[in-house]
Structures are given as structure tokens and as C-alpha cells.
Structure 1
Amino acid sequence: MTAQGVRATARIEARADGRGGTALPVLDGEGPLAPRRTRAAGTEARVTLVGAMNGPLGGDHLTVRTRVGPDACLRVGSAAATIALPGQSKGEARYDVRLDVAEGGELHWLPEQLISACGSELTVTTRADLGPGARLVLREEQVLGRVGEDPGRLTSRLTVRYDGRTLLDQELACGPGAPGGWDGPAVLAGRRALGQLVVVRPEFGRQPPVPRLLGEYAALTPLAGPAALVTALAPDALLLRRVLDEASHDLT
């Protein structure tokens, strides 16, 4: 920890164990980032990120680095929602997620919601780099403000690359100080829960999913590559999760 906030990194590495399962040779974290091994299921290793401290707070810089080796399969979740809070240190907080999935590997990245509390300022960047034949299920959910409060400032960027080619690169800014119109009918339309689901499967390169609406405020869109994107808005986190879970079931 410094006068400017906490600097912490968590590292997760999954490798095929040669017996049809997945081993976790690297599993460590610092400060508020505590990855924990949980019970495996079949060929899949499972890890839960546990928040050991409040945050991220203003001035913090947290990083999670995850690597999945060839033919390994990993599922990562979190024990609870992440709440961005204002802190004593001035300046924005940062939360960087770096995901690297080698050829033939598979990653399910399924954290709980990120809640942007009033007065907080957070920038989140998530980047996934996939090798040929890799598979990914990535869910991202954000809730603007706790019950009865205004949101903080939240900037989120998501980039997904497959075999060196960019499939998705998008950024959204919400809350005080964000570009005008973020809460208007063309963006969030007054909804306070927003999410997306990215599914990368090699077979989508041969037969992409059919684009369609998934309710009044959700849609499935095939990407230019073996991938599909679901975007959704909802009045609350519970309904948002239901929409994304139904879409995940259909796509995977």
C-alpha cells in the first residue's frame, strides 16, 4: 500500500495435468485479491476470487492476470460483488483484468457484479487474448449505484482478440463527468444494471448464431469471427443475471 492507494496483483495459471484434468501451478494474490481453489468438476479446474479488503477505493490499482494453457479448462468466479468506493486517496481507481487462453484451452470468466457506489471513480479494462481453437465464456455485469443512491463515475473497456485478430473492442463511460447522453434513450435509457456476455467457440466460425432480440433491452449479435456478443440492460442486477444466464445456456 502507498499514499496513493493499494497496488495489488493476483495471478492464476491453469495447465493440463496429463491425466485428463487441469492443474493450478500458479495461484497467488496480494492485498484485496485472494484467489482460492474450489472443487473441480470433470476436466475443469475452478477458482474463486475472494475480496480480502474493501475496494477498489480511490487511488487503488488492482490487476488480475490469468493464463490457461493448451487443452486446459478453467472456471473463475468471485465470492461476492465488487464495490467501487470513494477513498481517502485522491484520483481514480483502476482494475485491470488480463486473460490469456492458449490454443485449445477454455476459460469461463464469471465474476459477480461490479457496483459503482456514489462518489467513486473507477476505470476497468478487460483484455482477453485467445489462441486458435480456444474457447471463452466471459460475463461482465455492472450496477450503477447502490439502492437509493446515484452512481459513481465508471469507465469500462473490453477487448477480445482471437488468433491475433480483434473480435471486439468497446468502451462505455457512465456517471458524473461521463460524456453527455450516457443515461439517455440511445444508451442506458434510465436502466441501472448493464451487462454483456461474450462467447467464443471455434464452431461459430462455420455457423454463427442468428442475431436476435432477447427481450426489450437485450440482443444477441454475432461478431466478425467465431464469437457472439450479448448485451443487456435491466432495472436491477437480478433481472440482468437472469437474461445473461438464459443467453449463456443457449450459446454454450
Structure 2
Amino acid sequence: MKSLMIVLTIFTLQLEAKLCSTQHMSEEDRHDIYFDPNEEFEFTTNIDVNDELENVPTSFSVQLVGFENWRGGEEVQLKVEKARGKLEKIISSKLFRTEIYNHTYAKKQQFKRNQGKSNQEIYKIILEGADKYNRTVDYELDMILCPYYSQKNVIGYTYSNRKEIWVNMRYYRDGHAGFDENSIVGNLLHEWLHNAGFGHSFEFNSTRKYTVPYAVGYLASGIAEKL
């Protein structure tokens, strides 16, 4: 029994190491993450943040790989867990649904770079939880986070063909530039929406905030501040 536990432990460590390994990954496929923690979402309604919809089964799960090996890793795990709990409450709120339905871009109820989806369809995609790595409608938004540290002013990075998200401990642990628990809420949903197939320009422009990942991410952060 003891030898079996040792084998399982080794297998788990090897699996985690493989998950977050960037070996053989091309820098050309790497995309830096930018998410302004000071961006204020402009709400269109005064719906109570605690007014929840009935029968919303959607949950949010985050797998953290290797954080226990970092100074302050346990603190980050607690932050992410609190953010995860807030996200589940946010997604089941009437305010979240209403603001997505009401979102306008270019004087129409739509998002920029919406993949041909209406606001209502985008909301449904979020609830169903299917992404490009798991097409099953399981009503669970799931993510994998990997830690690293950099002095660069980027929150993290992703690869176009990998589900994992590498997060900069300068932000997630140290709270650089005001990046707090509510920022994590928005950033997590922003990155999941990339996994769901929505994109945006990786160069700043004045309309990038109207894309699905940015607009919905900032909405989530804004609601989190009200909780």
C-alpha cells in the first residue's frame, strides 16, 4: 500500500510538471496578458448584486499547479479560492445577465469580435462551460494556473494551443499596481473566455475594452467590488 502511494505521488508530480512545462514552446505563440485593475465598469442598471437567478447550475473550478513551492503560494491559493467563490455568485446574479444582455458596441447591443454570437448567446456559452479544450456542456468553467515571476508589467501569459495560464506572482501575490482579489475575479473570467474561443487585439486600442474577454472580465470585477 505504501509503495502504491509513492508511485501515485510521483505520477501526480510528473503530471503537474508536464502541465506547466514550457519546454519546446515557441515564443511566437506566447501572448502576454494585460488586464487593467483600475478600469471601472459602467453599469447600466441598479439591480441588487445579491439578487440571484434560480436554477443556475454553473460552477467555476481552478487547478493551481506548483504554487505550494513558492513563497506566499498558500496566500495566493486563498485569494484564488475567494475569487472562485465570488465568480460563482456573480455568474448566478441577475445583474451579470442583465449587463451582458445590455452591452453595446458601435451603437448596437453587441460585443466587439463576438464570433457572430448575440449577447444572449455569449451569456449561454458562459453558463454552459464548454470551451475549445472540452466541448462538453458540463456547466463548469475550469482553468489551470501556473505560477512564475517577472518584473515585466504583464499579469501573465498564455499559449494559443495550451489550456494552462501562467500568472505573474508580482500581481497575484504582491498585488502590484493595485491588482487585488477583485482583479483576480475579472482576470480569471477574461482568460476563460479566451479558452471559449473569444479574442481581442494584443496591442492596446480604444475599443479593445468592448471585446468579450475584456468587457465581461471588467464586468465581473465591478460586480465583485459590490459583494
Q: TM-score, normalised by structure 1?
A: 0.24
Q: Which has the higher helix share?
A: 2
